[in-house]
Structure 1
Amino acid sequence: MAADSFSEISSNSWFSRIASSFKGILTGILLIIVSIVLLSWNEGRAVKRYKTLKEGAGAVVSIDSAQVDPSREGQLVHTSGTAVTTDTPSDSEFGISTHALKLTRQVEMYQWKESKSKDTQKKLGGSTETVTTYKYTKEWNTRPVRSDNFQELEGHRNPAEMRFTNSSFKASPVTVGGFTLTPSQVDMIGGAQALPFPSDYKVPSHIGESHLSPTELYIGKDPANPAIGDLKVSFAMVPEQSISLVAAQVQDSFQPYRTKVGGTINLLQSGTYSADAMIQVAQDNNKIMTWALRAGGLLLMFIGFNLLMGPLSVLADVVPFIGNIVGIGTAIVAMMLTAIAGLITIAVAWIVFRPVLAISLLLISGGVIYMIFKQAKSAKA
């Protein structure tokens, strides 16, 4: 991996920092509003998904995939079987084909990548000096990296686009017993395996100069010394396999099942699983997504409160040591405010769905507020 770098030094006066910090207040308010909307929406989404899956668990019936039972039309059904196809998906551009459920082309291009780091030092009087270091590395990437906005474009230009890109070729039809899967359901089937090039494979003439190995086609002059714009192409396939599915039976196929609460169920897993096991996995995934979005919303809220109090630490930066102390203090306050506002937002969002949990969260928030005021009174005493 090749790399080079350069640094820039910039200064920011105390007055310009104060102006920027006051502008940051508007950004902080916007982030807090966005976080409140995100947290509220996430709680509603989580409850809706939970109720959707719970309703599905009570309505699903297991069927034999060998033949279609018209009496199950429109019902939420569970079935297991082997996904097979008579098709041979192919990539005509490279002349590769295989008997499989899916064929995927994976392309990487050798490119420049810019990364930067900043080291800011506070000066007496409130000004700052920032050293920004830009580092350029050559890396393989599956997507084009735009070099137009590089700080140092000279010597670090990337091709505007890739000659060949990632592609997927699905078999059609793909069946499980007497049923035919939709293209979106075929996409849900995993278990991709590397597909070697045939021993008698001949590289198409339009590819240009290239070097072939059993599992990879290198497009360029020298694989040992890659140049910017060189490509690596490989293939993978998803073989015929056992799958389990929970969805609505629609004629001889499956569609997402719509529940009374307005959610949909369209589950597919590789392997043989019961309906209960599949719905439990979906519930677990719902919990993971819920906590991930909660963490993201609370982080946005913390950043927002920190920006609101940004002017305080900048004003104190006339003496850097004092400014650092004030900055730590405002971060702690922002964390407390985030805990209070976040819990209240989540509680209010859950009042309609789970009043007991909502009231519990409100009581916790009230306890946090009480502890803050009690601590403040102790400090004054």
Structure 2
Amino acid sequence: MRSKHKIKDSGMAWGARIAGAVLLLGGLGLIAWNEHRVMDYGAAMARHGAPVLDLGAEGRPSSGQYGSMTRVSGMPQILDAPRDPEFNVRAESPILVRHVEMFQWREITVGGSTHYELDWVDRPIDASNFAKPAGHVNPGAFPIQGRQFEAGEVKLGNFKLSAPIVRAFPGRIDIAPDEHKLPPNLAATFQRVGDKLVTSGKPANPRLGDLRISWEAVPVQSMTVLARIDGDTLAARPASDGDPGFDVQVGDRSLLDVLPAMPEPPQAVLLVRLGAFVLAALGTLLLACASRLRNDVLFAVGMGAVVVPAVAGAMWLAGDAMTASVWLLVAVLGAGLAIWRVQQRSSTQPD
């Protein structure tokens, strides 16, 4: 009977040892795979160029960031809205644009046949170049010019935006003028038709030389900007080969959306490291089941903290001495814990 019990206990011990070895090797393989992908990502980032700070909407200017590229997203804040002082038109927008058109003669040639028609055109047309200028003379220069007005300051998140970045904001919306806010001289000249001001006495039948003025603004919408940090401002990096030195996209776009060529960072790095440690500690606990250190959780934790960091540290030695030293320091601390537990058990158990 005793022989059967001994055989059964021996079989269970060997089974636990085999399971422990499998778990331990699994933990070591997991940490090796994890650190390998982290190192591959670092190498790919080095090939891509300088790393990009992914600050999102909460990032703030801080020391050590100067010159770095970053992704910042959020809703632009207009701190000093643009205004057209001549017509007293204002918009809560990064940019306000005044468009001026004049009712003029246009020369149209189709299939060798030339004819003339009156239409709204946003630039002076020189009728002297017409095939038949007689009877189709245009007034000449516009008395009022189109202009662009920019906000005094625009912020995205906690960063100011440089003028080139603001000017690259996409989209346009119509801005209706308030005819009651026009200066007296312009109120006597213009009348509002829809979202425009016209000098026509009969807007449905404009005459040669009549003016039509309208305004557009850049809509305030969620934006993502990739640019260089210059103090508390996002600016363009040195441009080359047609590259403006920054990127502007509508919406909250991820770093991979903005830079699709950038390698994707590995996921759950810390979770995988913790999983490798747990597997190694459980494996050690099972391997020690037939020794006087059986069921000693602290010893298993110490050994798990030895073997996993030792493998990771050895992998990092050739590429990053600082990271390797941190891993090896953890291994030394784990070894200290394991040795302490061995000494404790030896002192409390008889020979």
SS in 2 for 1:88: coil
Give, as a single letter, the amino acid of the residue that structure 2 aligns with 1:176: L
Partner residue of 2:61? 68
- 2:123 and 2:77 map into 1 onto residues whose CA distance is 32
Instruction: Indicate the percent of aligned positions where both proteins have the same amino acid.
Output: 26
Write the distance in 2 (CA, Å) between the matches of 1:111 and 1:260. 42
1:102 aligns with 2:82: no
Separation of aligned partners in 1, 2:152 and 2:240: 33
Residue identity matched to 2:83: S
Q: CA deviation at 1:275?
A: 2.2
How far 1:173 moved relative to its partner? Answer: 0.8
Q: What is the TM-score normalised by the length of structure 2?
A: 0.55
Deviation, 1:161, is 1.1
Q: Deviations over 1:54-91 (max 9, x none)?
A: 97687323114441132222112111122112213111
The counterpart of 2:122, out of the listed 110, 125, 142, is: 142
Corresponding residue for 1:116?
109
CA contact (8 A) 1:197 1:214 kept: no
AA in 2 matched with 1:86:
L
Higher relative contact order (CA 8 A, sep 6+): 1
Alignment root-mean-square deviation, CA: 2.8
Q: Per-residue deviation at 1:97?
A: 1.7
Q: Could you tell me which amino acid in structure 1 is paired with residue 87 of structure 2?
A: F
1:148 match: secondary structure: helix
Distance 1:245 1:231 in 2: 38
Aligned to 1:187: 167
Aligned-partner Cα distance in 2 for 1:210–1:256: 41
Higher strand share: 1
Name the aligned partner's letter for residue 143 of structure 1.
R
Tell me the TM-score normalised to structure 1 length: 0.51
- Label 1:259 to 1:157 Cα distance change in 2 as closer, same or farther (>3 A): closer
Q: Aligned partner of 2:248: which letter?
A: L
Task: Give, in angstroms, the shift of residue 230 of structure 1.
Answer: 0.9
Distance 1:151 1:109, change over 3 A: same
Whole-Å separation in 2 of the counterparts to 1:215 and 1:176:
30
Shift of 1:190: 2.1
**Does the aligned pair in 1 maintain the 2:72–2:156 contact within 8 Å?**
no
Check 1:114–1:259 CA distance in 2 against 1; reply closer, same or farther (3 A cut): closer
Shift of 1:175: 0.8
SS of the residue aligned with 1:184? helix
Deviations 1:207-226 (A, max 9, x none): 65332134111112221111
What whole-Å deviation, never above 9, does each CA across 1:94-148 have from its counterpart, x for those lacking one?
Answer: 1212332221112221111112245xxxxxxxxxxxxx43211212111112212
Aligned length: 215
Show the counterpart of 2:291: none
Listed as ranges, the gaps of 5+ residues in structure 2 are: 1-45, 262-351
Query: Shift of residue 255 of structure 1?
Result: 2.3
Residue 278 of structure 1 pairs with residue 249 of structure 2: no
Determine if contact 1:209/1:221 at 8 Å carries over to the other structure: no
Query: What residue number does 1:156 align with?
Result: 136
| Larger of the two Rg values belongs to structure | 2
Q: 1:205 to 1:55 in 2, by over 3 A?
A: farther
- Determine which of 192, 197, 211 is the counterpart of 1:217: 197
Report matched runs for 1:29-40 at 5 Å.
none
Contact 2:76 2:220 in 1 (8 A): yes
The residue type paired with residue 92 of structure 2 is H
Whichever residue aligns with residue 245 of structure 1, its letter is V
